[in-house]
Amino acid sequence: MFSVIPKSTQAQVLGKQVLRSGTSVGANYREAYRGRSKAEFVAKCGDSRRELEEWSVLGGRDIDGETRAGSG
C-alpha cells in the first residue's frame, strides 16, 4: 500500500500516519493482553480503539465500517 502513495509531501505524511496508527493497534492490544490487572487491560484496549478511530477517520469510515457523511 505504501509504495503506491503519490510522492507529494502531503500524501507521504498521511501515508506514514496510516502506517503508524495501523501498526500501533496491534502493539496496544498486545500490551493490554499482558496487563497486570483488568483495569490495565481496559485502559490499553481503549488505546487500541482510539488508534482504530484515528485510522478510520483517515480512511473516511466510522469504526463500524459505515462511510462517513460528506467523505465520499
In the 8-state DSSP scheme, what is residue 64?
T
pLDDT tens digit string along 15-58?
787 777 667 788 888 889 999 999 999 998 988 888 778 777 76
So what's the pLDDT on residue 37?
A: 95
Question: How buried is residue 28: exposed, middle or buried, by Cβ count under 10 Å (0-12/13-18/19+)?
Answer: buried
Per-domain boundaries in the chain: 14-59
Q: Model-level pTM greater than 0.75?
A: no
State the pLDDT confidence band at 72, using cuts at 50, 70 and 90: very low
Q: Of how many residues is the chain composed?
A: 72
